[in-house]
Amino acid sequence: MEKTLVILKPCTVRRGLVGEITHRFERKGLQLCGMKMMHLDDTILSEHYAHLAELPFFQRIKNAMMAAPVIVTCWKGKDAVHVVRELGGKTNGRVAAPGTIRGDYSMSMQENIIHSSDTVENAVIELARFFKDEEIFEYETIGLDVFYANDEI
């Protein structure tokens, strides 16, 4: 089973949506394997968003991500990276489909509720950036058989 990173952004924390968003992932059938609150600093954000460093809005993104604490989470499930991306919806909340997290809770391109890993390879890198090995937990979920067929587990 894949693991993926989801960051509940400062706007999510400030709006009191942490429980609502984690609830949606749990109801889908993803397993929460790690969760912690932290303040992000310029160093970790410069690394995390290095692919955007040449864009004019780079500093604005970093400032927004430092505006309040974030909740970093690790989710596990079959095709977890893809499933989380689909649940999240398009980056721009104004065009994200209703029923997706951004479609239901965002009106912004930047203040768009979550960051999620975009590939399995990036999920491994991003999880290592935000979690120590001992902060990601393995445990048996009750009722896994109601979320997956027996040949999917």
Q: Which amino acid is located at 130 in the chain?
A: F
Closest CA to 78 of 125, 136, 145: 145
Give the Cβ contact number of residue 137 at 10 Å: 12
Residue 123's H or E segment, with its range, is helix 120-130
Sheet of 70-77: strand order equals 31-38, 70-77, 2-8, 114-116
Angle at 38 between CA 65 and CA 29, to 5 degrees: 90
Q: Do 148 and 78 form a contact (C-beta atoms < 8 A)? A: yes
Catalytic residue among 23, 39, 82, 115: 115
- Mark whether 115 is an active-site residue: yes
Measure CA of the first residue to CA of the last residue in the chain; give whole Å: 8
Active site residues: 115
